[in-house]
Structure 1
Amino acid sequence: MSTLTHMKPRALNLLLLLSTLPVFAQKPIIGIFESTSSGAGDNQGQPGVRVLFYQSGRQWRSYNAICQDEACLKTIVHLYPPVTTWTLFKQGKPVAKVAATTPTAYHSYSEIGVQTITNPAAVLHLERRSTPDYPDRPHAILATNLSHLTDPDNWQPAAVFPLDLTHVIQAFHKLYPHPKNCTQNTTNSPSNYHDSTYPDSQIKMDSSYLSNKTNWRMLQITLGGYLCDGPPDDAYVDHWFAISPTGEVHHLGRLMHLAGAADFAREGHSELLFQVQGGNEAGYKLFYDNFTHQAQDTVTYH
């Protein structure tokens, strides 16, 4: 039986597509530096680069490399470049150039897509490592096979426009008109777990960003006041919204951290990369073309 039979059809089709590309046709690739890439395989928790997205025409695509069984972990490595020379960027500035290799096999689902950095001494202090007190530190060092990156849309933290906050709160109310809550701080028993309402004042703003070129804005907000035990419901975690120059509000997602903005496509506009910190199925989202398109890479831990 062929070793490719363990792959999902979509992953197999991608492998066949990539095999037809000319060797010289190097397209931009987006990755993220991880100081202690997870897994008990070849990487052994050493620094690595997670390969996220590749450019196909004008679109960005994920490798969609998801395995359903352990046998697939040995074959899915062929979806990724065997060796990549990465330039790492922190806050828009190049901080290291490293070579990274795809292992001969992955040993856990969370390792899929991670390349091992061959010269780890070059990246020892680039990112604070996770600790028991902070087990899920966000990643914010961008990786690309390009030698130069800019942020032409010039995304920067900025003071929020009051009208933007009003419109975002209105949009949030439409998304979650009656979130579940408890009448007191107790277990989620049926007698206490119920639909609720909340005032605008219970929504706090976490961060605000502005593109000084396009006048698009982004807001991160969180609804407080969750009284139940256990993890909060979806309404009570952080949510991100984009606001167009004309005031239209778009919900981007929840449980996200802005990793960075850069012109990976070399077309004069910035793409925005977010890390999604969503429990068992986390990953990364890439927004581009004024938030009209997105690509998502999923990291599965079990």
Structure 2
Amino acid sequence: MRDLGVGFRYLLKGQRWVARHGKQYGFGLLPGLITLVLYVGALLVLGLWGADFVGWATPFADDWSSPWLGLFRGLLTVLLFALGLLLSVLTFTAVTLLIGQPFYESLSEKVDRDVSPDGTAPESDLPLWRELWVSGRDSLRIVVRALVWAVLLFALGFVPFLGQTVVPVIGFMVTGFFLTEELTAVALQRRGVELRARLALLRGRRTLVWGFGTPLGLAFLVPFVAVFLMPGAVAGATLMARDLLGEETRETRETGGHGGAGTSETPGTSSRPSPPIGPNAH
């Protein structure tokens, strides 16, 4: 359970880092603003025409008597909008990272240089178009996984009591996991860590991931908050990626491996992934 607090501290440290680097924060806001406009438009369409869609999709209920027809279709309309909102939260990070790939790559590199004992950062040897392709491909795979979970949780939401208590909690934990995967991917892809290895890393530290991603997912439900938290979330995820790979920082060197946000790094640890993880030979 200690990792829950550690993950949350990484989220706070990332926000503090961008607060000290105003120029990076300003550039990091642009992709989120673009994505926000797109998602708000989509949710407005869903809110305005969602009831019409439900009516079209349920012709078998046309002859139902009042109030059952209104209650049934009203419930489905609410659930449809809730599903759209959940999918927005699950996919917002992926779309924003894809749009802002050059912005967030630069921000993540600067975080690495700032905390690295020798002031260096791992650099990808792939051209920009290849990085965008890999990022888009992996993001699509994550979105498909997230959609499967979303549909499953949506169905379980109809189960009495569990659907109103346990399912929402699981939903936020799932959201937090996938948010963290997308955010740490910025730093891990630059190190050549492929998607399967990234998922293995995160599954090995689930409580750390939930401590970072679940509060972020909850915050993303508040309108406009996601835009302002994204730069700091990328910075915090970069710091957490270093922890996951056991990379040393200036802070851990100075404190003998026991400083920072409660990380598990030890002095002298290599900055490259361990052999079981393996680099991605794209």
Q: Shorter-chain TM-score: what band? A: under 0.3
Q: How does the TM-score come out when normalised to structure 2?
A: 0.24
Q: Relative contact order, CA 8 A, sep 6+: which one is greater? A: 2
Q: How does the TM-score come out when normalised to structure 1?
A: 0.23
